Amino acid sequence: MERNIRTRFAPSPTGYLHIGNARTAIMNWLYARHTGGRFVLRIEDTDRERSTEASELSIFKDLKWLGLNWDEGPDVGGNYGPYRQSERIGIYQKYLKQLQKIDKVYPCYCTPEELEARRKELLKQGKSIQYDGKCRNLTLAQRKQFEDEGRKPVFRFKVEEEEISFLDLAKGEISFQGENIGDFVVVRSDGMPMYNFACTVDDHLMKISHVIRGDDHISNTPRQLLLYLAFGWQPPTFAHIPMILGKDRIRLSKRHGATSVSQYREMGYLPEALLNFLSLLSWSSESGDEILSVSRLIKEFSFDRISKTAPIFDIEKLDWMNGVYIRNLKLEKLAELIFPVLQKAGYPVSSIEEIKPIASLLREHLERISQAGEKSKIFFQKEVVPQNEAAVILRKPEAKKVFSEFLKEMASVEQWNADVFMMVMKKVQTKLGIKGKDLWMPVRAALTGEIHGPELPKIAEILGYEKCQQFIKKAASED
């Protein structure tokens, strides 16, 4: 019988949403939307010391910013809640008792110090460091003795020496030997469930059909399959996606730069661009296209196109892709995004309408929205301070001739805009016989302090007549 498609994203609220976890959320969301299934958000907050409400809210914010919506979750409800593991402790206790009844778990009284000592001894002997089963066959008297000593047990699952295999949608057939797994803990001594136990119970009760996650979870899968088998439940279909690597082919981490979604938002990346970019880490469109709308991503997503090799996080490619999305924004939207950046930079801007000319001019020159602050300084500087090559150009005798003639022509105009600026430049060219870089670079250096940048006539229009005259006069008078 075919199951309804239900995927889930289950983050732990112990920090910001990592870019790798965001990619996992996107894969689950795309598959659910592609198949007409449901996407579930579950918060795995059994780590009481590290889980915080602030982190949970931050995860919600980042997912929504990316454009991911969920059909069930802590904030929207659903038929299979609660959707926070901390609110499901009674459920886990119920299923622990079931495992006790069928003799699939046992209490383990080994202390962390004892476990560490045995681990070191096994390493010395060159043996596997799995739990050695010391508490597996304790008598009732031995258990009582440990409890009288004040020891609180964890509960371990009995793993037999058998092969566990499954078909992974991304990696194919995968097998594990039971003796290499060892009896694993399902419930801590404080009654809190371990990841594999809680995850298995929740995925079953929430009717999750597909578990799509990073391949760092592959080692968890046989433990979860053993739990499914013990309960007599049908396991979900698994798909383990290759982990994202930095350019040095080491797992993506802080040493490679920003690692959280919120950092990329603050750096000026657009959510559509980041969603598009992350979707293409381990997946590709059959068309070979890289700029893909959300509707195309949903329509074309397929596990057949998942790569088995680990993708490289290429920040230059993300910059390029973000630039494409910026250029495709409507001017009103671009101005809205740029406005707070200019305000933060301390520029005297008071309305979005006012900065539309700047937004229009910068559109082709931005890879990130945050760059608008630095790139807009030419429009707000009270004094031009040319640097390096621009300063050299301004000192040339030919430049002084250009400035002198430019000021003469400016004096005869009645209005000022890009067209009038072009007319003045043509007149200067005709009178002096100077053209090309020898004509344009001195004027650009005088007006902006730079030798490259957006269209100079548009810059002159935004600066206005008085500023242009002021800056050219200053450049003409300097030695």
Residue 453, Cβ neighbours under 10 Å: how many? Answer: 16
d(CA 83, CA 62) in angstroms, rounded, equals 18
Q: Given the residues 254, 356, 375, 426, select the one marked as catalytic.
A: 254
Q: What is the dihedral of CA 263, 269, 273, 278, to 10 degrees?
A: -20
Burial class (CB in 10 A: 0-12, 13-18, 19+), 278: buried
- In the residue annotation, 254 being an active-site residue is answered as yes
If we measure between CA atoms, which residue out of 450, 460, 448, 464 comes closest to residue 381?
448
d(CA 208, CA 228) in angstroms, rounded, equals 13
Q: Report whether the peptide linkage leading into residue 74 is cis, meaning its omega lies within 30 degrees of zero.
A: no
Q: Give the type of residue at 230.
A: A
| Residues with Cβ within 8 Å of residue 240, at least 6 apart in sequence | 168, 170, 171, 213, 214, 215, 217, 218, 221
The residue count for the chain: 479
Is the CB of residue 166 less than 8 Å from the CB of residue 174? Answer: yes
Long-range contacts of 202-206 (CB under 8 A, 24+ apart): 202/10, 202/42, 202/85, 202/88, 203/8, 203/236, 204/228, 204/231, 204/233, 205/80, 205/91, 206/6, 206/8, 206/40, 206/42, 206/72, 206/80
Encoded tokens for 275? 């969603």
Give the 3-state secondary structure of residue 74: coil
Is the CB of residue 45 less than 8 Å from the CB of residue 12? Answer: yes
Residue 211, Cβ neighbours under 10 Å: how many? Answer: 23
The angle at the Cα of 221, spanning 219 to 222, to the nearest 5 degrees, equals 85
Give the 3-state secondary structure of residue 396: coil
Long-range contacts of 159-164 (CB under 8 A, 24+ apart): 159/183, 159/184, 159/226, 164/222, 164/225, 164/226
d(CA 321, CA 316) in angstroms, rounded, equals 9
Is the CB of residue 9 less than 8 Å from the CB of residue 56? Answer: no
Residue 79, Cβ neighbours under 10 Å: how many? Answer: 7
- Residues forming a β-bridge with 121: none
Residue located via tokens 């040493």: 255
If we measure between CA atoms, which residue out of 465, 453, 359 comes closest to residue 418?
465
- Residues forming a β-bridge with 164: 176
Which H/E stretch holds residue 212? strand 210-214
Which residues belong to the active site? Answer: 254
